[in-house]
Chains A and B, each alone.
Chain A
Amino acid sequence: MAEQVKLPNEGVYAGVEIRGHEVGHIVPVRVLIGVWLALVVLTAVTVSVTWVDLGGALNLWVAMGIATIKATLVLLYFMHLRYDHPVNAIFFIFALFFVALFIGGILTDVQQPQYQSELIRGYAPEMNR
């Protein structure tokens, strides 16, 4: 657990007496606004970068990189992962590892020539009929 935040307003809330042993971390307003601004700017960047041909699959990688940065910001600050007990992050990272395993494993097979139908389609025009 991160450091306890000193509450400015101890007292009775929802019929419950607050005595300064509250749970969880309180994210400052400037962090919330800052993360939101970063998300908006990164969205604008990822839209405008599609107007530029970076060549090959680089456009896809840039778009996925920006999306990953945005998702990380949401996870760390909006979802408190940075302040939480690390076990939450460990669970989530394990899930992401399995996703990478699924997609990576499948793509190594898909990139074998026998599945690239567009390579043979042109030379068998009847397939297009």
Chain B
Amino acid sequence: MSDAEAQPPQPPTPHMHEDPHENAYLAHHFDTPQQQFESGKLGMWMFLATEVLLFSGLFCVYAVYRASHPEVFEWAHRFLNVTLGGINTMVLITSSLAMAWAVRAAQLGQQRLLAICLSLTLLGGFSFLGIKYIEYKNKWEEGLLWAGKYKPTAEALEHLNATGHGEAAELGVATTDASSAAGHGGAVASAPAAAVTASAPAPVVIDGVKVEHSQIAPAPPGPQGMRLVERAGLLHLMPERAPRELWIFFSIYFLMTGLHALHVIAGLGAISWVLARSLKGQFGPAYYTPVDLVGLYWHLVDVVWIFLFPLLYLIH
């Protein structure tokens, strides 16, 4: 340091390379364009790793609540529109294709194709947000929002309960007579007690005394408003009506899709910036790093949605 201080100040020469024939975009602290490109790319991948860890927190929340409240997820996902979610998946995948093609166009110096591909990527992103807006608007009108804002309208709840019965019938699940009667009539009955009365109409012998069924005291109140459902040889208790804890699902839904939508918005901003620069002819085979790195970000947003779609919309 003392040597440097002793010398007269040098004129700053950032971003200038000694060889005038070299790449004008090569920063002075890199030896070759390849080294510069790969360093930038490595930095982007480190950022993407932190993005994965950010979303993993929400995936943890999802895993915990789905493991401890499976019935909430089975009920609530019926409110999500699989058609709109599926269209959005296709839109985002196609947008990713346009982005990957834009990188190729930049690498080959195809300026017109680069601008077209970036515009198509933007179109895909805006279409995604538009469809998401329709879905959010429907949820808003039905009162199916997060935590304290979860105040479903009467129509929404009725629709929910109706679709619930419909799906149970479709799946051909076993529903015990008495327990469904309890659900509809509001009488206190338990599924196990129902099974006993249905399968053993004959008098039973207790301590050597023959006892009629009418003499047996009713079983203690069992799962109220619950259905005994057989799935894959296992018995599950499914609520007859929409569980109160549905707000858990909608909180998670808005948290995960909302954070994802914020990423889409940020990606649209970055792609617009790249498009503006590409229209000035700033990218070509020798320098296209911003196109490539913004593309990586956009693909990661796509990858996150690839997992969100089945986890939220396609619950069996």
Contacts and interface: CB of A to CB of B under 8 A. Distances in A.
B41 A88 contact: yes
Contacts of A8: 108
Given A17-B21, A78-B96, A123 B222 contact: yes
Q: Specify the main secondary structure of chain B where it touches its partner.
A: helix
Contacts of A66: 310
Contact of B226 (A47, A56, A110, A122): A122
A35 to B, nearest CB: 8
A11 B284 CA distance: 10
A53 B231 CA distance: 9
B259 interface: no
Interface string A64-95: 10110011001101111000110110011011
Contacts, number: 202
Interface residues of B, number: 81
B130 interface: no
Interface in A83-129: 84-85, 87-88, 91-92, 94-96, 98-99, 102-103, 106-107, 110-111, 115-118, 121-123, 125, 128
B241 to A, nearest CB: 10
Given A36-B97, A50-B316, A117-B68, A14 B223 contact: no
B231 A40 contact: no
A110 B108 contact: no
A111 B63 CA distance: 11
B144 to A, nearest CB: 20
| Most chain B beta-carbon contacts within 10 A, residue among A18, A23, A123 | A23
B186 to A, nearest CB: 12
B239 to A, nearest CB: 8
A21 B310 contact: no
Contacts of A107: 63-64, 67
A50 B234 CA distance: 19
A128 B306 CA distance: 35
Contact of B306 (A1, A74, A77, A99): A74
B98 to A, nearest CB: 10
Contact of B89 (A1, A17, A43, A92): A43
B142 interface: no
| Most chain A beta-carbon contacts within 10 A, residue among B48, B89, B310 | B310
Contacts of A55: 231-233
B314 A118 contact: no
Interface string A26-57: 11010011011001100100110010011110
Interface in B60-85: 60, 63-64, 67-71, 82
Interface stretch (B3-11, B49-57, B151-159): B49-57
16 contacts: A14-B284, A18-B285, A22-B107, A26-B108, A27-B100, A39-B93, A43-B89, A43-B93, A55-B231, A56-B231, A56-B232, A66-B310, A74-B303, A116-B68, A122-B226, A123-B222
Interface of A: 1, 7-9, 11, 13-18, 21-24, 26-27, 29, 32-33, 35-36, 39-40, 43, 46-47, 50, 53-56, 59-60, 63-64, 66-67, 70-71, 74-75, 77-80, 84-85, 87-88, 91-92, 94-96, 98-99, 102-103, 106-107, 110-111, 115-118, 121-123, 125, 128
Given A1-B34, A46-B310, A99-B56, 4 more contacts: A33-B97, A56-B231, A78-B295, A107-B64
5 closest A-B pairs by beta carbon, nearest first, are A122-B223, A13-B284, A55-B232, A95-B49, A59-B316
Interface of B: 21, 23-25, 32-34, 37-38, 41-42, 45-46, 48-50, 52-53, 56-57, 59-60, 63-64, 67-71, 82, 86, 89-90, 93-94, 96-97, 99-101, 103-104, 107-109, 171, 221-226, 231-234, 237, 244, 281-288, 292, 295-296, 299-300, 302-303, 306-307, 309-311, 314-316
